[in-house]
Chains A and B, each alone.
Chain A
Amino acid sequence: MQYRKSLLAAAAVAGVAFAGLGGAPSVEAKTFKYAFQGSLSTLDPHGLNETFLLGTLGNVYEGLTAYDADLQLVPALAESWEVTAPDTWVFNLRKGVKFHGGQDFTADDVIFSWQRAGSDGSDQKVRASLISDIRKIDDHTIEVKTAAPNPLLTQEMVQLLIMDKEWSEANGTVTATSVSGGEEGNFANLNTNGTGPFMVTENTQDVRTVFQRFDGYWGTTDTNVTEVVLTPIAQDATRVAALLSGELDLVYPVPVQDWNRLEGAAGVQPLTGPEARTIFLGMDQSRDELLYSSVKGVNPFKDQRVRAAFAHALDLNAIRDRVMRGAATPTGVMVAPQINGFNEDLNTPYEYNPEKSKALLAEAGYPDGFEVTIDCPNDRYVNDERICQAAASMLAKVGVKVEVFAQPKSKYFAKVLQQNGYDTSFYLLGWTPGSIDSHNVLANLLSCQNVEKKIGLFNLGNYCNARVDEITALVEKETDPAKRQALIDEAFRIVQEEVGYLPIHQQPLSWGVRDGVTVAQRADNVLDFRNVVVP
């Protein structure tokens, strides 16, 4: 229980510090209690590249840049920056910033954190590898060289959280906590020392995590909260009950089916909005014969008419109304409005037209349709399995018999992803670009599969168009916003015309809050304590 002792010691020190300042702190103590379905699997900011973990640790640690409540990029530990050459950035670091342990924030900490993020066991290696070198100009100025010209560097830096060099060295945690053993990284797995507005004072894994306000925080925030308590509650029904009983101020996610109950109950309400995650169906367009289909000898999805027939058979409004209780936003493009590069003009969904769909199928040589199996997770996205079932019944109306194979996410991903050889013919997937930029979608979903270049690896059906690949490479380096947007539009238009994917909708964010509590519901489903105000 070593880590608990040190946490208690830290809390005791903090208590003494308060006492030293002359009794009670000037601000009124306010506690904000919330529950999420999962818990923090590690406190190591380089341990796992996952939205919930990084978003929550973002209250404790900070990057050079950050997102505000509307997902707009704002300066954080870097005050300003400029691009001096296509592959060179100069960052002016914020002065007077202190870590929770009292250490000063300097250029050395940034260089150290970048190196640590690239160490074995780190899940931030991809991000760290964007940078080829960091040169210290003085204590508060650094020059960053990128491996290739990269207009998105500042977006990527949001998630590269900065640790203190001194503290890490003193505690023997200079490399990231490895998943395969070795005690070296374990100190940061259980302890924190960031620059953020909150510090972790207690962390009983999977039971309770307590955050206290850090008085030495450099910035000003909107929050009036002095203490935050996170309780993981895995069961949906239990989580909702904990809100209804008045024990908690906020819970998320809330099942879409429970919105009416929250609206009917006194003192609580559902808080909903569109998430930046796009849900879509993908089709195997590379094999010569589908793995799971009645059609032998040819792959019907290689025929653009068949793909278009599928697109015209799906009634996205019906999915929104019946499966998602009106809360989803049907979409025609593979990125959400919050994502950099989104263009409303392209966002018209394919027309719902079963007659046209039947005609296209007949034209392609399948007047009586055919059979195919869709792979579907059942615990990953909002109502994922029910979306697949709805799509199956809609496709049945045009003669295509779709069998739904729904599995828990661990089994589903083990089957369909690259390491299992993309074992699927037709699948449902959801995607939020971590960099909040369209390039991420181009590179991961729309480029041809290419293991060596590490692109298209989540393009499970291997939709492939040479021009889209070319554009992806150009977008990565293009720094002129107008030219870049034109390229992105061109790529999205090609994918749309060729029916490379079948976009469904942006799924809803679904939180439940107590009356009087205000929070900013960010489209990436991150709860930022900086925006929380309790009555």
Chain B
Amino acid sequence: MLSFIARRVLQAFVVMAVVSLVSFSLFNFVGDPVNNMVGQEASREDRLQIREELGLNDPIVIQFARFLGNAVQGEFGLSYRIRRPVSELIAERIPATLELVFVSALVALGLGIPFGVYTGIKRGTFASSTVLTVSLVGVSLPTFIIGIGLIYLFAVYLGWLPSSGRRGVEEIGWWRTSFLSIDGWRSIILPALTLSLFQVTMILRLVRAEMLEVMRTDYIKFARARGLSEQKINYGVALRNTLVPVITIVGLNVGGLIAFSVITETVFQWPGTGLMFIQAVDFVDIPIMAAYLCFVALIFVLINLVVDILYFVIDPRLRLSGGR
């Protein structure tokens, strides 16, 4: 067990190193940050001096080594644009993203599972095909369009919800939450819905497929033969057996939600890490871009690590073979 975990952790480090190297080498192609850091009248000497001070004149290998050396100490430098430590900025922005991802995961599960069970059981009915057709919208329309559409419907036309931003923010220690106020909840609805649509469709279809599978198995037939109620068979026996793959997929998708929140956060001006990343790309704020990419890679690696370990715990075959 221990050697298995140790091996996985080592692999995780290798993945992190590769991701950071690839992302870092991309920074050579994003433009010159110095033009954004000074006004148009700044002299050539000043521009050169800034380049020198930032170490932008060094070979890319040296820049990378320096970055890596600082990064392992949790030190990502100062943002070029707002001149504050990047680690502080990420800590400031991360609650907004995590709360958004949390709510949209809840929405995805809350809508996806019941509808999945329903369409799995009541195959071919009009209601089922309607749900399936509508759910296609979630995967076929770009997030940007869905977001703007929701804003125009609920904020401009109906006037029920705020169009953008994160309001009603309160502080609990360093964590800035919007869960404690009505305003906060009102402002999270639209972005969370937008972010969850893709996941709703995916979970719905996954649960439906699993249900169709499970309903054909022998133990359902036996359950029927024993005279259990339909209710108990559908939700007590069948659904429980479909949940293992669903939970795996949802777990892995939380990482995806964090990464994909970039577009949703931009549309809704939601002040999370995704919006910060887009602003950084615009400005060529290399320290923030580097830190963000490492951060997303870290989340994916951690989730994968946890899932791997869980498999090891759950699946006796892996244990017997020593995880090889």
CA distance A162 to B47 in the complex (A): 24
Q: Is B47 touching A123 in the complex (CB atoms < 8 A)?
A: no
CA distance A185 to B269 in the complex (A): 29
A186 cross-chain contacts in B, Cβ below 8 A? 83-84
Q: Which of B118-126, B242-250, B270-278 has 4 or more CB atoms under 8 Å from chain A? A: B270-278
Checking B34, B83, B92, B174 against A47 with a beta-carbon cut-off of 8 angstroms, the contacting residue is B83
Checking A177, A189, A241 against B151 with a beta-carbon cut-off of 8 angstroms, the contacting residue is A241
User: Quick check: is A233 within 8 A (CB to CB) of the other chain?
Assistant: yes
CA distance A181 to B50 in the complex (A): 11
User: Quick check: is B166 within 8 A (CB to CB) of the other chain?
Assistant: yes
Number of interface residues of A (CB under 8 A): 55
B77 cross-chain contacts in A, Cβ below 8 A? 181
Q: Is B35 touching A180 in the complex (CB atoms < 8 A)?
A: no
- Within residues 40 to 59 of chain B, which ones have a CB less than 8 A from any CB in chain A? 40-44, 46-48, 50-51, 53-54
Q: Is B40 touching A206 in the complex (CB atoms < 8 A)?
A: no
User: Quick check: is A232 within 8 A (CB to CB) of the other chain?
Assistant: yes
User: Quick check: is A486 within 8 A (CB to CB) of the other chain?
Assistant: no
Q: Is B42 touching A245 in the complex (CB atoms < 8 A)?
A: no
CA distance A535 to B276 in the complex (A): 35
Q: Is A180 touching B50 in the complex (CB atoms < 8 A)?
A: yes
Chain A min CB distance to B202 (Å): 26
User: Quick check: is B107 within 8 A (CB to CB) of the other chain?
Assistant: no
Interface residues on B, range: 35 or more
- Asked, given contacts A48-B38, A189-B84, A207-B166, whether A451 binds B44 with beta carbons under 8 Å apart, the answer is yes
CA distance A19 to B40 in the complex (A): 46
A208 to chain B: closest residue by CB: B165
Q: What mask results when residues 129 to 166 of chain B are scored 1 for a CB within 8 Å of chain A, else 0? A: 00000000000000000001001100110010011111
User: Quick check: is A86 within 8 A (CB to CB) of the other chain?
Assistant: no
User: Quick check: is A247 within 8 A (CB to CB) of the other chain?
Assistant: yes
Q: Is B34 touching A232 in the complex (CB atoms < 8 A)?
A: no
Chain A min CB distance to B67 (Å): 14
Chain B min CB distance to A409 (Å): 8
A47 to chain B: closest residue by CB: B83
Q: Which of A278-286, A290-298, A411-419 has 4 or more CB atoms under 8 Å from chain B? A: A411-419
A241 cross-chain contacts in B, Cβ below 8 A? 148, 151-152, 155-156, 163-164
B155 to chain A: closest residue by CB: A245
CA distance A7 to B229 in the complex (A): 63
Q: Is A125 touching B275 in the complex (CB atoms < 8 A)?
A: no
Q: Is A49 touching B35 in the complex (CB atoms < 8 A)?
A: no
B35 cross-chain contacts in A, Cβ below 8 A? 410, 413-414, 417
B43 cross-chain contacts in A, Cβ below 8 A? 125-126, 454
Chain B min CB distance to A40 (Å): 9
User: Quick check: is B284 within 8 A (CB to CB) of the other chain?
Assistant: yes
A420 to chain B: closest residue by CB: B32
Checking B31, B82, B89, B278 against A414 with a beta-carbon cut-off of 8 angstroms, the contacting residue is B31
Q: Is B83 touching A245 in the complex (CB atoms < 8 A)?
A: no
User: Quick check: is B292 within 8 A (CB to CB) of the other chain?
Assistant: no
User: Quick check: is B268 within 8 A (CB to CB) of the other chain?
Assistant: yes
Q: What mask results when residues 245 to 271 of chain A are scored 1 for a CB within 8 Å of chain B, else 0? A: 111000000000000000000000000
CA distance A445 to B172 in the complex (A): 53
Q: 11 A-B pairs, CB-CB below 8 angstroms?
A: A41-B83, A49-B42, A125-B43, A178-B83, A180-B54, A181-B53, A186-B83, A206-B271, A234-B269, A413-B31, A413-B32
Binding site for B on A (CB under 8 A): 1, 41-42, 47-50, 123, 125-127, 177-181, 185-186, 189-190, 204-208, 231-235, 237-238, 241-242, 244-247, 379, 408, 410-414, 417-420, 434, 444, 451, 454, 457-458
Shortest Cβ-Cβ A-B pairs, 3 listed: A49-B39, A410-B31, A414-B32
